[in-house]
Structure 1
């Protein structure tokens, strides 16, 4: 836990933008690690989608989210940045949220200043809590962490509710409350994106969501603007849905998977991705016999 948070702190201090692809389960977490990324992000919208089959409208509980974040951290072995919605209540609830996420092995979480029930940051219908209430929750989050390297990210959804200037005012206030990283959600123009890192001293997070509200920028462009962390919340899930849909349609129309086998991950490659070589090594280390394995 401490090593993971400390590693994230070091990555945030290193040159360049830290890129964290978003995942919602252990399979995608292992792919991110295999492809050589240094950090990973647990998407709240993706977690609601994969765990419940529902949109991100505040239906997930804190313990469900912390459990999923811990599984992603464990499967990937990477410093994990996790969505923690609104912190799931007032300052005392936030304290417990931080403690649960930290115990799960998460390196960082972000909380937003929305009222409950919250909505995905790129959806309409959001409402906000007073800035002073959010500042109190940030102070509670910072006080609750056992590892001082655990990263507290403060998110404001004020652009769509109160306007861009008020969003910057909130970001400044959250920085003063102790937030390590600032996350101004859903900017809609290059002018807004340029202004965010200039308005505060703390590192800023860029959310490359798929809604189209925020301009689609390259990592180089994000770095040039002054952002330090870029998350891609549902990139992998959005990529998987068309692939899965196409496979099912072919099965339905052709009545067989034979014609698509060369396009699918091989059975052995799938189990290797899931860690089967490590399992075999452990079985040999502990001399687990074939007969014993068959009885499990």
Structure 2
């Protein structure tokens, strides 16, 4: 039954692994998972972690990424994803869903959900997508209060609290660096530098900040899509691909639905579909059958 209904690895061990990975000198790659099945695929392929994007959670509810989701709506999918994977899960906690006390509660809820870490950002609440114009950031002191509240609520010291700054696109890279230093001094374990553009920007940030750094390689945004090997060489500790799997899936789903609508059949799409046998392999269907047989493999006697 090991590893079937839930991951073998405990939440505490996943958090310890995430923290160790961030200081290992090797970049930790965390693709986004829009459901638990994708998280199982991420693990099988060999990545170091799983990311749960706030933009994806919003999109899954057919909402834009402008701070409309609640803590419960984010923690629920996060818990479902963390349950099935042995990899650490990092989750987008937006601005902490309210004032500093709300950020503190957010950490306790995410810890209970089995998450390995979360990031909190310095945008004004409600936030907006980090790669759109028109963002606004709170004063540095307000974000420091947000972070300190979150850190004070942490019960597992290995739960990673990441501070995201959106200041680079508003106040400039130098201001974002100063914010990052203040956030690290407040106790942030990891700094997420949002919407940097070129490798030179990432190099400048790395040279100025000693805390582990996370890069966001989202498509169609402001950042050049820099290979993980390059980010590793620059000295980044982690990289996320937040919306990639959702974009791939939605593109394929739309193309397929249009063909079914136009042709009246899906017969021409079969070579673009995951086969039933591959789905069953990913779900470990055979092992469930074995478990079922083991539980019920008894015979009734004549007199029973």
Bin of the TM-score, shorter chain as denominator length: over 0.9
Shift, 1:266, TM fit = 1.5
TM-score, structure 2 as length reference? 0.90
Shift, 1:288, TM fit = 8.1
- In the aligned structure 1, how far is the partner of 2:130 from the partner of 2:295? 48
Local SS of the residue matching 1:23: coil
Confirm or deny that 1:148 pairs with 2:157: yes
Partner of 1:177: 186
Shift, 1:84, TM fit = 0.3
CA RMSD of aligned residues (A): 1.6
Q: Deviations over 1:212-233 (max 9, x none)?
A: 4111111111111111101010
- In the aligned structure 1, how far is the partner of 2:297 from the partner of 2:29? 40
Partner of 1:287: 296
Partner of 1:257: 266
Contact 2:199-2:226 at 8 Å conserved across structures: no
Contact 2:195-2:223 at 8 Å conserved across structures: yes
Change beyond 3 A, Cα 1:77–1:281: farther
Q: Deviations over 1:210-262 (max 9, x none)?
A: 12411111111111111110101011111112211221122122211122223
- In the aligned structure 1, how far is the partner of 2:47 from the partner of 2:76? 22
- In the aligned structure 1, how far is the partner of 2:270 from the partner of 2:278? 13
Partner of 1:31: 41
- In the aligned structure 2, how far is the partner of 1:204 from the partner of 1:188? 15
- In the aligned structure 2, how far is the partner of 1:261 from the partner of 1:288? 38
Aligned length: 288
TM-score, structure 1 as length reference? 0.93
- Which of 89, 96, 100 is residue 80 of structure 1 equivalent to? 89
- In the aligned structure 2, how far is the partner of 1:284 from the partner of 1:202? 52
Structure 1, unaligned runs of 5 or more? 290-296
- Which of 25, 28, 36 is residue 18 of structure 1 equivalent to? 28
Shift, 1:86, TM fit = 0.3
Alignment of 1:83-102 (within 5 A): 83-102=92-111
